[in-house]
Amino acid sequence: MSRGMPSGLLPSRLAAGALIVLVLAGMVLPGSAPAGSAKDSLVVGLGTNIATPDNHKTTGLPGIGAVSQAGDFLVLMDAKSNVKPWLATSWESADGGKSLILTLRDNVKMHDGNILKAEDVRYSIERFRKLAIGRAALNMVTAVTVVDDRHVKITTQAPFPPLLRTLAYPGLSMYSKAAIEKYGDDEFRNHVAGPGPYRVTEFKAGDKMVMTAFDEYWAGKPAIKTVSFRMMPEMSARILALESGDVDLIDAISPQETDRLAKDSKLQIVNPPSAGFVRIYVNMQKGPLTDKRLRQAIAYAIDREAIVKNLFKGQAEVARSLAPPGVFGYTGDYDVYKYNPAKARELLKQAGVTNLKFTLLHSPGRFLLSTEVVETIKANLAAVGIDMTIQNMEWGAFSSATSTKLEDTKMDASLSWWRSINGDADSAIADFATKFFPPGNNTSFFSNAQYDKLYDQEQAETNQTRREQQLKEMQKILMEEMPAVPLYRQPNLWVAGAGLTNFEISPLSCLQPLHKASFK
Amino acid sequence: MLRFLTQRLLIAIPTLLLVTLLVFMIVHLIPGDPAQILAGDMATPQAVAELRAQWGLDRPLPVQYLAYLKNLIAGDLGRSTATRNPVTREIGDRYPTTLALAASGIVVAAFLGLGAGVLAATKPFSRWDYGSMILALTGVSTPVFWSGLILILIFSVWLGWLPSGGTGSLRHMILPAFSLGLFDAGVIARQSRAGLLDVLGQDYIRTARAKGLAERMVVIRHAFKNAVIPVVTVIGMQFGRMLGGAVLVESVFSLPGIGRLLITAISQRDYPVIQGICLLLAASFVLINLAVDVAYGFLDPRIRQ
């Protein structure tokens, strides 16, 4: 024993030390998993937060896809933007196109034991419409009425052909009216009951949402018993968690990572078409870019192919229109802006502008690689003599600056993201109508009488062939006038771990119902 | 001591009031409209205006502030504009994780920092000293974001010993605690080395050694207690900083703490949540400072008198 050490101290210290080592060892040793048992739980790492398990009150698209596993869809939109029957098995138009009558699937059981009826659907749609996005998406709806237990009638101000596709929006979950009334509008978040393949069994804000298979799901018993959605904001952490086996599926991966991940034969990289695409909005009423030739010069000067190839490693797609490819009414026929610096210089010369300068508003981190994209654009424009200043802004300030009214706006241009929420070109380009000037979403202040007329016609047109033609005409005007320069369609990159199969991701980056998902 | 505590708590009231006023002014002065942000890209101007009216954001600022104070006195922090949940619930859901993270982080920091500091001070200018101080400097210089990812890579991906993030058990807290604590361990090591070296050069230490006491007893019984007083201040300050500044660690390890909640709230201009968190952090700082002062009393009997 050391000199000066009080007798009896060493053994007690040793014992305490041993205890600490044992405790630490117990903490460090991995948890045991039953050997040889088939994997029946799926862990998904999402980059966005899930605000609440109540889909009518949550925001953020991949998170909405998670929450929708409990609520289920009236109609489902597949990866090619086709609408499929789901809880609604069929539909018919009525009242000269102003109403849509949905026939509901028979005998669909919900998590609280009740059978889904037309009143639940009516109540759910009305509740969704109280949410900002619901109010915006269904703002043309004037009434939702119950015809009988299996039929619901949705009436709009005027014929609105994209209504059915809009009903496929993943935030529009169907819930049990009885459960909402029983627990109260707020408390329902802790007792979510819908007809979906999974029921919410645990929710921890900012951490995870655990869902358990609903064995009585109308489309069949889910193959995986438990699905956990973990909220993991850091992409590097999501990737490491996937590589360590802590999670089985992750979203929002940068294309820069895919080369390395593709070398791991256990991982599957999934990149379904995205409904989201990136554009530069240009102020058409004020500032240095009111001359059409200058906007066209910008379009010619940006090497979009190089951005897609080099920055996005080919995982994005050049945007040929202000609507995304694949949606109803899309046309890429009017994109004449192949990279051509000489043409850009010529247009600048024609406009008599020798020293064009403008400022681009940009909110870093808002979408994938946007900082690299704006730097590339700056270099592209500098090569033809255009001096673009990048003004980085935090999202709240950016949002405020781009929604300022015409008389107060100081915006020259902004880099922003848009998407079609319903697989229809209408929801991607309608906002360029004059009536949507900020604080609406026409942040370019584009005003064109011919365009406005086509917009009014298209909104009321029930003949789909004519409507498709009108939408294409609208895109032609936009590509000529360039209120926004279309850049590229965003990648929708997910990575799955070993053996996960039979899962599908929608263009809005949401997981479709997971009842068929399984591990090989 | 009771009078001292009461006095300190009373002083905290105007401090916290000032915090509410400052935070209120700052969040309302920065550009960005919560109604526009929450209503989303697709919202109509009417929908945005309705939201603004619904949340009372169309009233003059002084009226909004007084209404906030009135509710605050009644213990009501309002509702999140983003989720419509009570702010107390939003914060209550997250604060325990942050507290656990900061507490475990400070334990790691204190354990490693004091250990390295004592080792360095008792063997000054030896390889132990240089080795400890190089490690301390490395700890201070390493971004927690990077050290967190490296720890995950080693202990989760390569060795498979610990979870890569999330919550659920004590095991989930080990890597975040080390990631958070390594930085502060460096600060504490340098502070405790300097303090201990100073004390070890004093006359009473020479007396203790002259009495024939073992060096270990001299260091632990006589020098350490005096040297540790400034270190306690540092630990208190670091703990307070960890409560509000652990957001990077919370992000890397996907922990549902208030740092992440605050960042989300700021980006959404969720005024009630921002104000609630700032108030809580300010109150936590006041309490930590109080605890540090009480700890002084235990460490130095002269302060108790």
**Digit-coded pLDDT (tens) for B32-63:** 777 777 666 666 777 778 778 877 888 888 89
* Cα–Cα distance, A429 to A451 (Å, whole number): 11
- Which amino acid appears at position A378 of this protein? K
Separation in Å, CA of B255 to nearest CA in chain A: 6
* Cα–Cα distance, A300 to A291 (Å, whole number): 15
Give the 3-state secondary structure of residue A43: strand
Record: contact A132-B51, CB cut-off 8 A: yes
Record: contact A206-B38, CB cut-off 8 A: no
Give the 3-state secondary structure of residue A89: strand
Nearest to residue B98, comparing CAs of B278, B286, B255? B255
Contact A363, A393 (CB under 8 A): yes
Q: In whole numbers, what is the pLDDT of chain A averaged over residues? A: 88
pLDDT of residue A5: 37
Mean pLDDT of B281-296: 85
pLDDT band at B108 (very low <50, low <70, confident <90, very high): very high
The two structure tokens encoding residue B234: 């540092």
Separation in Å, CA of B89 to nearest CA in chain A: 10
- DSSP class of residue A490 equals P
pTM of the model as a whole? 0.83
pLDDT of residue A476: 97
Q: What DSSP assignment string belongs to A105-143?
A: PTT-B-TTSPBP-HHHHHHHHHHHHHSHHHHHHTTTEEE
Record: contact A206-B260, CB cut-off 8 A: yes
pLDDT of residue A387: 97
pLDDT of residue A46: 93
Question: Measured between CB atoms, which of A230, A399, A441 is closest to B254?
Answer: A230
Chain A residue numbers with beta carbons less than 8 Å from the beta carbon of B256 are: 204-207, 231
Burial class (CB in 10 A: 0-12, 13-18, 19+), A315: buried
* Cα–Cα distance, B223 to B211 (Å, whole number): 15
* Cα–Cα distance, A116 to A178 (Å, whole number): 10
| H-run or E-run covering A337 | none
Least confident of B94-98, B148-152, B174-178, B298-302: B298-302
* Cα–Cα distance, A416 to A130 (Å, whole number): 26
Chain B residue numbers with beta carbons less than 8 Å from the beta carbon of A49 are: 264
* Cα–Cα distance, B168 to A41 (Å, whole number): 16
Separation in Å, CA of A54 to nearest CA in chain B: 10
- DSSP class of residue B249 equals H
Interface test with B, best of A9, A10, A27, A404 (most B CBs within 10 A): A27
pLDDT of residue A6: 39
Mean pLDDT of B166-184: 90
Peptide bond into A439 cis (omega under 30): yes
Say which residue, A343 or B69, is predicted with more confidence: A343
Separation in Å, CA of A185 to nearest CA in chain B: 11
* Cα–Cα distance, A488 to B185 (Å, whole number): 47
Strands A208-213 and A387-392 turn out to be unpaired
Gyration radius of chain A over CA positions: 27
* Beta-bridge partners for A153: A101, A145
Q: What is the percentage of chain B residues whose pLDDT exceeds 90?
A: 25
* Cα–Cα distance, A384 to A480 (Å, whole number): 21
Interface test with B, best of A9, A22, A135, A229 (most B CBs within 10 A): A135
Strands A208-213 and A226-231 turn out to be antiparallel
Chain B residue numbers with beta carbons less than 8 Å from the beta carbon of A209 are: none
ipTM value: 0.76
Between the alpha carbon of residue B211 and those of residues A368, B118, B214, the distances in Å are 69, 22, 9
Ranges under pLDDT 70 in chain A? 1-38, 132
Three-class SS of A265-309 = CCCEEECCCCCEEEEEEECCCCCCCCCHHHHHHHHHHCCHHHHHH
The chain B residue lying nearest A48, using CA atoms, is B264
